[in-house]
Amino acid sequence: MIRREWEAVPESVREAVERRVGSAVLKAESVDGGSNADLAACLTFVDGRKYFAKGVVLDRELAPFHQAEALVVPHLPRTVAPGISYEVPSEDRWRVSVFDWLDGRRADLSPGSPDAWAVMHTLNGLHRRGYELPFVAHSLADAWNAERPWEKFKVPENDPDPVRAWFKKHHLTFKQLELTAIDAMVGSLPVHNALCPKHILVNGTVKFVDWTGTFKGSAVVDVARLIPHLIVAGHTPESAEQLADEAEAWSNLSNRTKTALATSILGLHLHRGHSVEITDATVEWAQYRFNS
């Protein structure tokens, strides 16, 4: 998707944003954020206020995810997520959400950094408070059950690659573990479902941004999906899981369920063709879990 500069957004949409905010835009800077959005910009207004504007053309395939984010974010505590200050719906086939601006840097998940512990601590606090999502959020367990990546996975005969040979050897077990993982995903808590350093801002506190992929489900999913990112950042699978143990949702799981989540997340990365870096890290984690 090609990002548009603020000046390239239809004039009617820009005017609608300014009317809704009650001030003219003084400065607009495109930012690296807002997954799959047509517009992602820091807007500074004449009256001194600053916001993050994320907009999407309504006939885009991913527009419903942005609409869902606008419905879900108001139910999240502002201690962990930015609030939506203004909504500009359905203007010239565009929808724009105007979020609170958050100053901060991307989380450093590398070994020795306090950020990784702070992220797990913040996740644990969010889930312990028991914030439940309304009916507008879809069930992650239902969505995963509909996709079932390992059911669809195919390994060519006589593939010489040792990793893919490992997939083939344990394919039936992975399919069975996928059902265990889906059972573990059931719940009504907010699941960001795409936590990674670029979606985590640190500035004294930890904030999670870009909730377009939000589902309702179990608290353990976000913890599990962070583990490969910890490995990418330099952790071993063992040290990554030690950090994950800071979250009660993870530490209370059985070994089988932990292995099921690892292999199922691997299946998802393979099925969707995610980056080699994150897929390789998930292979490393899944093999550690499978062999431990």
Of all residues in the chain, what percent carry a pLDDT higher than 90?
Answer: 70
- The tens digit of pLDDT for each residue in 37-54 reads 899 999 999 999 999 999
Q: Locate tokens 């910009």: which residue?
A: 41
Distance (Å, whole) CA 20 – CA 98: 10
Domains and CATH numbers, the chain: 6-100 (3.30.200.20), 105-291 (3.90.1200.10)
Task: Dump pLDDT digits (tens) for 244-290.
Answer: 999 999 999 999 999 999 999 999 999 998 999 999 999 999 999 98
Q: What is the pTM of this model?
A: 0.92
The C-alpha atoms of residue 78 and residue 157 are separated, in whole angstroms, by 51
The pLDDT of residue 285 is 98
Give the C-alpha separation, 134 to 230, whole Å. Answer: 31
pLDDT digits (tens, 9 = 90+) for 217-236: 998 999 999 999 999 999 99
